[in-house]
Structure 1
Amino acid sequence: MASKKNNTNEVDNQSNTSRRDFIKKSGLLTALALSPPSLVMASENKWDEKIAEYLETVPLAIEVNGKKHNLNVEPRTTLLDLLREQLQLTGTKKGCDHGQCGACTVHVNGTRILSCLSLASMQQNAQVTTIEGLSKGKKLHPMQEAFIKNDGFQCGYCTPGQIMSGIACIKEGHANSREEISEYMSGNICRCGAYHNIVDAITEVKKGGILS
């Protein structure tokens, strides 16, 4: 009888242990499954940073707002991040970071581009102009003055990109009517809805013929 009782106790103990292990493992799996995506992404980002540390940098000669720079950049660095993070030119804004809002518009060799979609390493020997490079000392660019005069902004976050695109719109020959201006400025999004005033500003500069 004692032997049977001991055997029964051993079976019960093994069964209890198995149940406890199962509950623990199930709880762990549930916790992992319910972990916020931000925690998973944070872990992935740390791993990406580790990888990035071992990537080689490439030399870059670039002229920004008339000043020449000789830099070493990580190959994946965008022109936008180079301007903001390495050159501290934060006037160029990071909006959607997907080329949809126009806040990061700059001029490269006289042509407007979305700097968030361009790798810095692709701009070897390029001449870049940002919003900071438009004014001459305390003298504002005519487009900057027109935006102030016509109240072409509210929160102002999109304004640098709007101004850069507005200048390009005239130089590209697409400012012959309000409708044409609206069409060729459609890549720049203003969440405050100052579109009418923005078109007023561009129209004024175009009519004045003072765009430099």
Structure 2
Amino acid sequence: MVKLNKIYTRTGDDGTTALVAGPRRPKHDLRVESYGTVDETNSVIGIVRLHTTNMVELDAMLFRIQNDLFDLGADLATPDTGEALSYEPLRIIETQVTRLEHEIDALNADLSPLKSFVLPGGTAAAAYLHLARTVSRRAERQMVELAGIEGEAVSPAALKYINRLSDFLFVAARFANNTANSGTSDILWVPGQNR
């Protein structure tokens, strides 16, 4: 279990931060950017949850995702260098990806098929879910870039998870807009409407 007694350490005053394992890295390092953007996604989901208290099933899913995102941050902050560690590092696993897929299917089951792209908006929950989706896509782009750098490792399960997450958030936004409690439906893109 994590124990935080003192919040500031002054060790980052030089513009570096410590990973869970390995040498200190600059705060603008792509690995630090990646798990920082995962944390940003988590924060936006925290805002979403202010608007999902009447959607118990969705809110429970989002709560699980928030916990998973801390797991993902720990995974990214503990790069696999091939060196033996004195502990087993926390990693995203396939069952977390599979759970997201099942939850996507459950939320999508009663939604009508799309005939156009969806504009972010509708209910407050849906608008913030779209914001979380775009932030998670940024995290995914950073993680994919990181995985492409020689000597940097990102687990396949972590990449799958962040990819599924944006899909989940999109479907969750549609669910929030179409739930009986909201009375609002998706806002569809009309190509060239304002020409």
The structure that is strand-richer by fraction is: 1
Shorter-chain-normalised TM-score: which range?
Answer: under 0.3
Indicate the structure (1 or 2) with the bigger Cα radius of gyration.
1
Give me the TM-score of the superposition, normalised by structure 1.
0.24
